[in-house]
Amino acid sequence: MQIDIFLFLTFSIFALIASVMVISSSNAVHSVLFLILVFCNIAGLLLLFGAEFLAFMLLIVYVGAIAVLFLFVVMMLNIKKMSVSHGFFSIAPIGLTIFLILFAQLSGVFHVFNISSLKQDSLIWISWIIENQNITNIQVVGNVLYTKYCFLFILSGLILLVAMIGAIVLTMHQRTDVRKQKIEVQLNRTFGGSLKFINLRK
C-alpha cells in the first residue's frame, strides 16, 4: 500500500469516528474536543489533496479560534448532562428528513459534475522534484491578496482594529458610583494608621 493511500484512509477513518463521537457523547466538553479532532483530520486530508491554504486556514480559524471559543463557553457555563431522555422513534423522523435533504443535495452535485467522466484509465505519476519548483497555493493567494486586493485587505484590517479598540474602550469604562479597591492606597498604609485604640466606659 502506498503511503498517500494509507494516510488518506487513516485521516478518513479517524474523521468519521470523531464525527460520530461528537454527536453521541453526552459530555459537551468531550464533544468539542472530538470536534477539534475532526478539524485536524480534515486539515490532513486537505494537505494530501494539495490545498495547503485551506488546510492552514481550517486549523487557524476553526481549531484556533472557534473550537477553542466553544470549549471556553462550555466550560464557563458548566453544562451538565440532561436528565430527560428522548426515545429513538421520536428523533428518527427528524434525522431521516435531514438525511434525505443531504442525500438529495449530494446527488445533485454528483449529477452536475459528472463524476464518472473524471475516471482515468491509467495512473499518472507525478515527479515531486519538478513540482517542488512550482509556486504553491499559499504563494498564489498571497500574490493576489497583497497586490490586486491590497486596499480591501488593509481596509478589513482597519475595521477589525477599530472594533478591537471599541471593545477595549467599552470594557474600560469606569463608574464613579461603585466602590473599587485601590492598591496604591493599601500599599502606602502604615502600622500607625492602621490601629486605633478606643477607651470604652465601664
What confidence score (pLDDT) does residue 163 get?
84
Amino acid at 106: L
Report the chain (202 residues): mean pLDDT per 10 consecutive residues: 82 92 84 89 88 84 81 71 62 86 82 61 64 74 86 90 82 68 76 71 68
CA angle, residues 61, 151, 153, in degrees to nearest 5: 5
Instruction: Tell which residue, 48, 52, 44, 55, has the closest CA to residue 4.
Output: 48
C-alpha cell at 82: 440532561
C-alpha cell at 24: 453521541
List Cα–Cα distances, 65 to 155, 158, 161, 192, in angstroms. Answer: 22, 20, 17, 52
Task: Classify the phi-psi angles of 146: left when phi > 0, otherwise alpha if psi is within -120 to 50, otherwise beta.
Answer: alpha
Break the chain into its structural domains and give their ranges. 1-79, 135-173
What confidence score (pLDDT) does residue 72 get?
77
What confidence score (pLDDT) does residue 158 get?
93
Alpha-carbon gap, residue 80 to 103, rounded angstroms: 34
At 113 the three-state DSSP class reads helix
What confidence score (pLDDT) does residue 6 get?
86
Q: Are 52 and 136 in contact (CB under 8 A)?
A: yes
| Global confidence as pTM | 0.55
1-79 adopts what CATH topology? Four Helix Bundle (Hemerythrin (Met), subunit A) (1.20.120)
List Cα–Cα distances, 136 to 52, 140, 143, 145, in angstroms. Answer: 8, 6, 11, 14
